[in-house]
Structure 1
Amino acid sequence: MTIVTTGTAAPQAAPAGKGAGPLLRAWRERRRISQLELALRADSSARHISFIETGRSRPSEEMVLRLAEHLDVPVRERNALLLAAGYAPRYPETPLDDPALDALRTGMERLITGYEPYPALVVDAVYNVLAANRGIMMLMEGIPGELLQPPLNVMRLTLHPRGLAPRIRNLREWRGHLLAQMERQIALHRSEPLRALYEEVAAYPVPDAAPGEEPAEPVPYFALPLQVEHAGRTLSFISSISTFNTPMDVTVAELAIETLLPADPATVKYLQTLVS
């Protein structure tokens, strides 16, 4: 298992000549927060917030960062706000293969390797696979080579009609879960690459059930499982996604570690046989 690097999404450019005000207003409206509520959170006044949003007042660097914090603006977009307000970006974007991230990279490698035989992988902000363990590679067996060309994208691999999709027993439910997850990310981030990926995978055809095919017997789970066929068996997993707490780097802020936890004893038993 090796960490691989891919190109990262370029920062969103600030509207020329408009300052940070329109961007801050857009984030406030996206979060459905009134000027008064934001002012109370940021220890300011609704009048001052209004002046900032309309360009009548230039916010200090500290105020830009304070408002961004209370609006839960992603780290990449905080840099865009600072640039629009006339300040230098605060957060670096360190390449994942930079020596400064050696400890982080090694830690992620150990984490997902130690999770074997259960599947685990590391993805970036647009779901490109940066690292994957042998459990993930086991699930990818039999996928056509052209879909495995870098950069690997977990959404394409999962939902493409020649990827995992034909093997997923509960494809419609799992597809709906993944698309809803991407919609939430799009609402949180102003990412055109993520929106383009969503439009691409949402347009993939969903195969109809075969004539006379009975739907799978519903099984009570504590969360929606991924039910995927492998070697004549149906394996069931529950997905968990972890991110880093209070990141101070754009690259680190956009990393996510996804682990697939076996959802039933049969899946546990089968995966254990692969390493025994």
Structure 2
Amino acid sequence: MEAVAVHEESFGPLLRSWRQRRRVSQLDLAIEAGVSARHVSFLETGRARPSREMVMRLAEELDVPLRHRNRLLVAAGFAPIYPEREVHAPELEAVRQALDTILAGHEPYPAVVVDAAWNLVAANAAAGLFLEGVPEELLKEPVNVLRLSLHPDALGGRLLNLAEVRAHLLRQLRRQAESSGDGRLAELHDELAAYTYPDAAGDASVAHLPGPSDILVPMRVTAGDRVLSLFTTIATFGTPLDVTVSELAIETFWPADEETAAALRARISER
């Protein structure tokens, strides 16, 4: 899979790349932004220069991530307006407290915080079950959650329904790479898609068709002599104005049956 490439760091090609990535015509973008299609065309070809307000309006209509809004601003000759702080910066103390509260409050069930590239930022103690038996080389910083999920020497070797989970994660990652314009995600997709498994266990073609009683596809992962069945939800911060905060996601894992819930409660009690 190839991400949409931008070869010129100037406003026109960048704008065009985002419009094409969103599959929006010049006319449709112009209508939403309240300008003429001719003006959008002139902006893309460099015959017109946008104001800062126009850059922000077009970026908003195209749902451009904050990191790339800064890039559009710089390409148009303006200073970036969205700060990018480290997670441990003093200014993000309230964010860290919120994350700690969510992670701790989700015990005894696993929860992790990841960045835009699916690298692990934080986790609660229950998430340790995903790291059991994982080789040291996969735990070197930055630890990538999707790599751990599908690598045959990590969770990929413990998933009883690997084909279903693999198909879902690769499809999700491909869409995220295409919509975000993040080349790191495209590279990660290609790496994960190239993993091989014994007996074609990860072949999406063998994934079962959903039945009438199915609600969602859980992860069915072995943990010692137990099989845990988990589904996930993902949450993000609303209305972020910091690049780092806008790229954080909280993935919480929930038991899909009472046996799994009891097993996870027992794991916490044993600790």
Name the TM-score, length of structure 1 as normaliser: 0.88
Pairing partner for 2:30 from 21, 27, 39: 39
Higher helix share goes to which structure?
2
Q: Is the 8 A contact 1:20 1:81 kept in 2?
A: yes
Kindly indicate whether residue 267 of structure 2 is the aligned counterpart of residue 263 of structure 1: no
Pairing partner for 2:98 from 107, 111, 118: 107
Judge which range, 265-274 or 84-93, deviates more.
265-274
Structure 2 CA distance, aligned partners of 1:92 and 1:76? 9
2:63 maps to which residue?
72
SS where residue 73 of structure 2 aligns?
helix
1:50-90: CA deviation from partner (whole Å, max 9, x where unpaired): 11111111011000110000001111010111111111111
Q: Is the 8 A contact 1:239 1:259 kept in 2?
A: yes
Name the TM-score, length of structure 2 as normaliser: 0.90
Letter of the aligned partner of 2:254 in structure 1? Answer: L
Structure 1 segment 87-236 matched on structure 2, within 5 A: 87-208=78-199, 220-236=213-229
Structure 1 CA distance, aligned partners of 2:49 and 2:101? 46
- How far 1:209 sits from its partner (Å)? 6.1
Once the two structures are aligned, what percentage of the paired residues are identical? 52
Q: Is the 8 A contact 2:149 2:156 kept in 1?
A: yes
SS where residue 274 of structure 1 aligns?
helix
Letter of the aligned partner of 2:217 in structure 1? Answer: L
Kindly indicate whether residue 20 of structure 2 is the aligned counterpart of residue 29 of structure 1: yes
Q: Is the 8 A contact 2:112 2:250 kept in 1?
A: yes
Q: Where do 5+ consecutive residues of structure 2 fail to align? A: 202-206
Q: Is the 8 A contact 1:75 1:253 kept in 2?
A: yes
Q: Is the 8 A contact 1:122 1:257 kept in 2?
A: yes
Pairing partner for 1:237 from 220, 230, 253: 230
Structure 2 CA distance, aligned partners of 1:116 and 1:13? 44
Pairing partner for 2:245 from 252, 259, 268: 252
SS where residue 229 of structure 2 aligns?
strand
SS where residue 199 of structure 2 aligns?
coil
SS where residue 239 of structure 1 aligns?
strand
